[in-house]
Amino acid sequence: MNQVPPGGMLPGERIAFDPIAGRRRLELPDGKRVAVWIIVNIEEWNPLETMPRTVLTPPAGGAPMPDIPNWAWHEYGNRVGFWRILDVFDDYRLPGNLAVNGCAIAAYPQIAEAAHSRGWEFIGHGFSQKNMQKVADEVEDIRLTTEAIQRFTGTRPRGWLGPGLTETWETPERLVAAGYDYVADWVLDDQPVVLKTRNGPLANVPYTQECNDVAMMLIQHHKASEYRDRAIDQFEQIRSDARHGARVMAMVLHPYIMGAPHRLRYFREAVAHIAGCPDAVFMTGSAILDWAKAQQG
Amino acid sequence: MTEPTLPGSRNPYSAIVDRAPLPPLPGGARMAFWSIVNLEVWDISRPMARQVIPAPTGQVLLPDVPNWSWHEYGMRVGVWRFFKLYERLGIRPTLSINARVCDDYERVAAHARDLGWEPMGHAWEQMPIHKVDDQRAMIFRSMDRLESFWGKRPIGWLGPGLTQTYDTPENLAEAGVKYIGDFVYDDDPTVITTAKGPLVTLPYTVELNDIPMMIVQHHESAYWKTRVMDQFKRLYEESAERPKIISIAIHPYISGQPHRIRYLEEIYAEVAEYAGVVHMNGAELYDWYNAAAKVHP
């Protein structure tokens, strides 16, 4: 549907062009210059549907159902890979962000518990891993996701990331109506920005498709070491840019990708580099939002 | 149609950090290395299982002689590089083999048999199992043919491209299969239920597999060694606390190419530097696990 419905807005109506040069200078506490947030995505893949991603196509192509090998490949991340990633968060005492499908909390309660007991922020990530434009009832999907998180953590989630960053024309309105403070779908800036919606403002915290293992490993087919190299290059450039005011960097990973034994070390090495720099501070999405709001006025 | 048995219901989610210890590996080893060679028949009357070169303008060609020849090279030349390597090393891999290989490439199958390689059922010929008219009959025919050729019924199975339908595990259990490689969802062997009795899953791989790496992801030949050794080193480290299995899956038309074989050879040379690593085939891994888990009498 290319027509914007009356309840939605065009992207340009939600946010006016505003170059980063010349903005009010943002300062992080303690002289830090780069706020880094790391988002771990936990999904449940429905074996009755087409898999969201694949590592292996069937002989002679096509997409026969069911797709057990790719279902199993993703499941490995939750059974084994996540627990490797968790060690890195523990070793560096990193605050975590769990972008979680609402249904994945019941499917993988041990993961939800591990994240919750460490004080990670839970971010709504759709009820299941499905393009928001294919979800039958988006309002209901957001409600179910919000409830699943609130029931488990005791707190309403403040942040939202669409599955595959997808939105409909009206997603921002619906998120504000459901009580959300920020989305991460708009990868258009290095600082938090505010989007207009017909229900009031909604912030966007800078997420990334660049330092994101889905894009890098599954679409662009880079070597595992490129995750580390790119994260370090990204960090060093943003750190340099931040002489004009504090900036935000996101790193995104999925247990079935970076949690594979042969990839994990490159995530750890990227974290080690950033953690070794006195300009960096690791934060949650909500903490970044609250800081930016106070600074931006 | 009755409700399908979903893969996740055959062995409910469990986190690897919550498991009971595995039995110790034979000879006090900390880690097992499982090598799997795949031999296939690509029927010239159908679309080829994989392509190295799509036809100009992307047309589907029948017959597809260039890609048929590319695969055929593996049987004529590449596999003999594998035989030479493994004879020199004294390693007897698992042979994932389309049963029709026993007839179409008897020279190759007989050589593997005479070297004591373990046959693992891998369908009759290379096509997705979804497209086989009578799956149950095909599985029995494949197992029977391998039994008559090897003089012993195989106990392992790998679907072509790891493909399964929802009831494949039942058909396999009925045909006498004891372990499968299709569930790449864990580092440990696991047990899945079927209506015809349990099956053991062994950790086969779509990560250290030359099809996804070289044909789908288009990595450089040298990256094969880098990724395998990254995986090996990580699992070796973890095997201090829990036995680990590393598996690698190779095809003669890919890893048997002159420009790739050296990376495979170098892997084994480097792995030999590590103490406590035992080379085991699928049947030996199954026996080790089953002796303690007593899945089958």
Is the link from the previous residue into B24 a cis peptide, with omega within 30 of 0? no
How far off is chain B from A5, nearest CA to CA, in Å? 39
Burial B115-135 (b: 16+ CB within 10 A, else e): eebbbbbbbbbbbbbbebeeb
Rounded CA-CA distance B18/A86 in Å is 14
Q: What angle do CA B290, B230, A283 make, to 5 degrees?
A: 105
The letter for the amino acid at A181 is D
| Rg for chain B, CA atoms, rounded | 19
Rounded CA-CA distance A230/B182 in Å is 33
* Cβ under 8 Å to B: A residues 118-137: none
Q: Which residues contact A295 (CB under 8 A, 6 or more apart)?
A: A24, A26, A27, A246
How far off is chain B from A82, nearest CA to CA, in Å? 9
- In tens, the pLDDT along B218-255 reads 999 999 999 999 999 999 999 999 999 999 999 999 99
- For chain B, the domain total comes to 1
Q: How many CB atoms sit inside 10 A of residue A251's CB? A: 27
Residue B111 belongs to some domain of the structure: yes
Q: Which of B33, B17, B35 has its CA nearest to residue B25?
A: B33
- Would you state the pLDDT for residue B1? 55
Q: Is the pLDDT of residue A64 over 90?
A: no
- In tens, the pLDDT along B103-142 reads 999 999 999 999 999 999 999 999 999 999 999 999 999 9
Residue A6 belongs to some domain of the structure: no
Which residues of chain A does B208 touch, with a Cβ-Cβ cutoff of 8 Å?
Answer: 262
Which residues of chain A does B231 touch, with a Cβ-Cβ cutoff of 8 Å?
Answer: 260-262
Span A49-62, average pLDDT: 92
pLDDT-derived band at A61, boundaries 50, 70, 90:
confident
- For chain A, the domain total comes to 1
Residue A1 belongs to some domain of the structure: no
Q: Which of B131, B176, B209, B138 has its CA nearest to residue B296?
A: B176
- Would you state the pLDDT for residue B255? 98
Span A165-192, average pLDDT: 97
Which residues of chain A does B17 touch, with a Cβ-Cβ cutoff of 8 Å?
Answer: 83, 110
- Would you state the pLDDT for residue B55? 85
Rounded CA-CA distance A290/B128 in Å is 52
Structure tokens at B213: 């790496």
How far off is chain A from B90, nearest CA to CA, in Å? 26
DSSP state of B111: H
Span A192-211, average pLDDT: 98
pLDDT-derived band at A1, boundaries 50, 70, 90:
low
- In tens, the pLDDT along A110-156 reads 999 999 999 999 999 999 998 999 999 999 999 999 999 999 999 99
Q: Is the pLDDT of residue B56 over 90?
A: no
Residue B14 belongs to some domain of the structure: no
Assign residue B223 the CATH number of its domain: 3.20.20.370
Assign residue A72 the CATH number of its domain: 3.20.20.370
Which residues of chain B does A227 touch, with a Cβ-Cβ cutoff of 8 Å?
Answer: none
Q: Is the pLDDT of residue A55 over 90?
A: yes
Searching chain B, which residue's CA lies closest to the CA of residue A57? B161
Q: Which of B83, B66, B87, B86 has its CA nearest to residue B75?
A: B83
pLDDT, chain A, mean: 96
Are B223 and B213 in contact by the 8 Å Cβ rule? The answer is yes
Residue B18 belongs to some domain of the structure: no
What is the per-residue DSSP string for A231-293?
Answer: HHHHHHHHHHHGGGS-EEEEEEE-HHHHTSHHHHHHHHHHHHHHHT-TTEEE--HHHHHHHHH
- In tens, the pLDDT along B200-216 reads 999 999 999 999 999 99
Q: Is the pLDDT of residue A48 over 60?
A: yes
Residue A56 belongs to some domain of the structure: no
Rounded CA-CA distance A251/A209 in Å is 9
Long-range Cβ contact pairs of A17-24 (< 8 A, separation 24 or more) = A18/A193, A20/A189, A20/A190, A20/A191, A21/A244, A23/A191, A23/A245, A24/A245, A24/A295, A24/A296, A24/A297
Which residues of chain B does A108 touch, with a Cβ-Cβ cutoff of 8 Å?
Answer: 13, 15
Residue A258 belongs to some domain of the structure: yes
Rounded CA-CA distance A271/B160 in Å is 39
Distance, CA of A138 to chain centre: 19
- Would you state the pLDDT for residue A3? 85
Task: Give the range of the structural domain holding residue B102, as residue numbers without chain letter.
Answer: 24-50+59-293
Rounded CA-CA distance B96/B86 in Å is 15
Task: Give the range of the structural domain holding residue A178, as residue numbers without chain letter.
Answer: 26-51+65-296
Asked if B207 lies within 8 A of A262 by C-beta distance, the reply is yes
Asked if A261 lies within 8 A of B238 by C-beta distance, the reply is yes
Residue B246 belongs to some domain of the structure: yes
Residue A21 belongs to some domain of the structure: no
